[in-house]
């Protein structure tokens, strides 16, 4: 990355000792330009289609009588927004509601939508669920062909898109979904590990599944934000294997009461509802 791209990182609260505020404060939110890493991707001038779906498990505030209430939140950001919200700042922002009084869940929802939209630069969908309602969302499993049991030998844990190749034994077009639970990357700022399950749906010439698994394992020592990892995977598959249609969807394990689930697609028709997923590691 260039110095210009990394110049914003020292300004972030991520990785620093931070005082937690418990009175509502929208200024806790910090924006990270999506352009930060996109300049290093293939087809860097091509817009992304998709969303980032966040789940917030630690949301609470006070009613006007002073009684605490708790909710679980779902936040959907457009991949076309100028900024992503830095995750620690998001947690600090949510914590700032803890000792503040509000009239209703509708008031809080509208306030969060206003603040997050302003920070990201595009409209954000916010839904706050009572715990009983969210509990109906059962733990699910990504459907598709799990490639984790393929017998391969790994000699490098470094990012290498040159590993990707098509299956030379198949000439016909296919439509299939590949799933792996072995994706691990590291936070760009702190180096802390980020764990995810990933679903790759495509239509076109058959991917060599072993090469895809080797490529994904190569992220094990790679430092990048969740959203940028998924965009890198999407662009590498798109540019090197040239599918007619492609979607890449990752569900990351939560950290600090938040999980981040980026979805990138080649066609808007692939942008189906993914909010019903909640995996066993989430």
Query: How far apart (Å, rounded) are the C-alpha atoms in residues 202 and 178?
Result: 9
Provide the pLDDT for residue 16.
Answer: 54
Mean model confidence pLDDT for the chain: 92
Provide the pLDDT for residue 2.
Answer: 37
pTM of structure: 0.92
Contact 237, 205 (CB under 8 A): no
Under the banding of pLDDT at 50, 70 and 90, the label for residue 36 is confident
The answer to whether residue 278 scores a pLDDT higher than 90 is no
Task: Let me know if 194 is a catalytic residue.
Answer: yes
- The per-residue pLDDT for range 61-70, each reduced to its tens digit, is 999 999 999 9
Q: What is the DSSP letter of 220?
A: G
Query: How far apart (Å, rounded) are the C-alpha atoms in residues 230 and 228?
Result: 5
Task: Say which of 52, 115, 187, 259 is annotated catalytic.
Answer: 187
- The closest alpha carbon to 196, from 263, 265, 124, 268, belongs to 263
66 three-state secondary structure: coil
- Rounded to a whole number of angstroms, the distance between the first and last alpha carbons of the chain is 31
The answer to whether residue 33 scores a pLDDT higher than 60 is yes
The answer to whether residue 109 scores a pLDDT higher than 80 is yes
Task: Say which of 52, 115, 194, 236 is annotated catalytic.
Answer: 194
CB atoms within 10 A of CB 176: 14
Task: Let me know if 187 is a catalytic residue.
Answer: yes
Provide the pLDDT for residue 274.
Answer: 64
Burial of 126 (0-12, 13-18, 19+ CB in 10 A): buried
Burial of 3 (0-12, 13-18, 19+ CB in 10 A): exposed
């Amino acid at each position: 990355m260039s110095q210009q791209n990394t110049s914003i990182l020292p300004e972030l609260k991520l990785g620093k000792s931070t005082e937690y505020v418990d009175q509502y404060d929208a200024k806790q939110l910090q924006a990270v330009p999506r352009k930060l890493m996109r300049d290093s991707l293939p087809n860097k001038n091509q817009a992304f289609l998709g969303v980032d779906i966040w789940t917030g498990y630690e949301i609470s505030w006070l009613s006007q009588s002073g009684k605490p209430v708790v909710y679980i939140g779902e936040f959907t950001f457009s991949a076309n927004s100028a900024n992503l919200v830095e995750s620690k700042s998001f947690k600090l922002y949510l914590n700032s509601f803890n000792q503040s009084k509000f009239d209703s869940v509708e008031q809080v929802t509208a306030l969060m939508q206003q603040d997050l939209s302003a920070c990201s630069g595009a409209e954000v969908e916010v839904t706050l669920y009572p715990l009983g309602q969210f509990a109906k969302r059962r733990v699910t499993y990504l459907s598709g062909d799990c490639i984790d049991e393929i017998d391969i030998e790994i000699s490098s844990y470094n990012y290498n898109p040159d590993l990707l190749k098509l299956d030379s034994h198949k000439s016909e077009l296919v439509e299939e979904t590949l799933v792996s639970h072995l994706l691990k990357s590291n936070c760009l700022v702190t180096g802390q590990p980020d764990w995810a399950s990933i679903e790759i749906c495509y239509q076109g010439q058959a991917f060599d599944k072993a090469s895809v698994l080797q490529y994904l394992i190569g992220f094990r020592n790679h430092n990048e934000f969740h959203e940028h990892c998924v965009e890198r995977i999407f662009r590498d598959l798109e540019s090197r294997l040239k599918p007619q249609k492609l979607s890449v969807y990752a569900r990351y394990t939560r950290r600090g009461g938040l999980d981040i689930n980026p979805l990138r697609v080649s066609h808007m028709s692939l942008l189906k509802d993914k909010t019903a997923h909640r995996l066993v590691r989430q």
